[in-house]
Amino acid sequence: MTTTSALVLFSGGQDSAVCLAWALSRFERVETVGFDYRQRHRVELDCRKVFLAKLREAYPAWAAKLDEDHMLDLGVLGAISDTALTREQEIGFAGSGLPSTFVPGRNLVFLTFAGAIAYRRGLHALVGGMCETDFSGYPDCRRATMDALQNALTLGMDRPTPIETPLMYLDKAQTWALADELGGAKLVDLVVEETHTCYLGDRSHRHEWGYGCGTCPACDLRAKGWAKWRAA
């Protein structure tokens, strides 16, 4: 294990794609992990393969650092969840006040499995796109949750397991700006064309900021962030 390696939680969406570029600009060795939890927008799993291939092609220096990709079948998470991300139901708010797209325990499960892979592969840091600035109110996206889980993983695996969240305090406009800073217009275009963030899994509508239904909360945040960034 070295402190120059990282495992990026890469879903195939905008935020995790930018986090991957961020990790490649900082670490000497980077691996990726994705999760199939029977999400309604499983098209993201197809997008992640294409994005990884095109990222390698577009950035040879990053390709030299980009190592193995892992895909985990976490169908059990979808089976025990009753949310708008794992069922065909309307997106709104639950009685708890949280969005109906909240999948309880999702990031806790993801990071625990990622920690186990990092342990086996000798990778130092975990990198995720969690954010508490422009987000849907998910409690497992807050830095306090990340700090608690980081401590638990460090204790439970008896080795430092830092969780890096480069987007934690950025809004979506700043995330677009970061993509531009890291990889220029080429990376921005790659994120627009080859990532997927729409909760409904809609790849039939192409907007200037990418593909999606254009009306779900994820699309709304992405569109507003794009407009704010372009207007700056």
Dist. CA 136–CA 33, nearest whole Å:
23
93 confidence band (pLDDT: 50, 70, 90)? low
Of 7-16, 94-103, 120-129, 181-190, give the lowest mean pLDDT range. Answer: 94-103
pLDDT at 193 over 60: yes
pTM of the model: 0.93
Number of helices (H), then strands (E), belonging to the chain: the values are 8, 7
Tell me the average pLDDT across 152-162: 97
pLDDT at 210 over 90: yes
Q: What is the per-residue pLDDT for 103?
A: 80
Residue 203 one-letter amino acid: R
User: CA triplet 124, 12, 170: central angle to 5 degrees?
Assistant: 70
CA dist 117 to 8, 16, 122, Å? 11, 18, 8
Q: Are 194 and 48 in contact (CB under 8 A)?
A: no
Of 3-7, 76-80, 209-213, give the lowest mean pLDDT range. Answer: 76-80
Please give the domain boundaries of the chain with CATH numbers for all domains. 5-197 (3.40.50.620)
pLDDT at 83 over 90: no
Q: Which residue has the higher pLDDT, 121 or 40?
A: 121
Reduced to 3 states, what is the DSSP secondary structure of residue 73? strand
How does the average pLDDT of the chain come out, rounded? 92
Q: Give the largest Cα separation in the chain, rounded.
A: 49
Residue 23 one-letter amino acid: A
Q: Which two tokens stand for residue 220?
A: 């709304």
Q: What is the per-residue pLDDT for 215?
A: 93
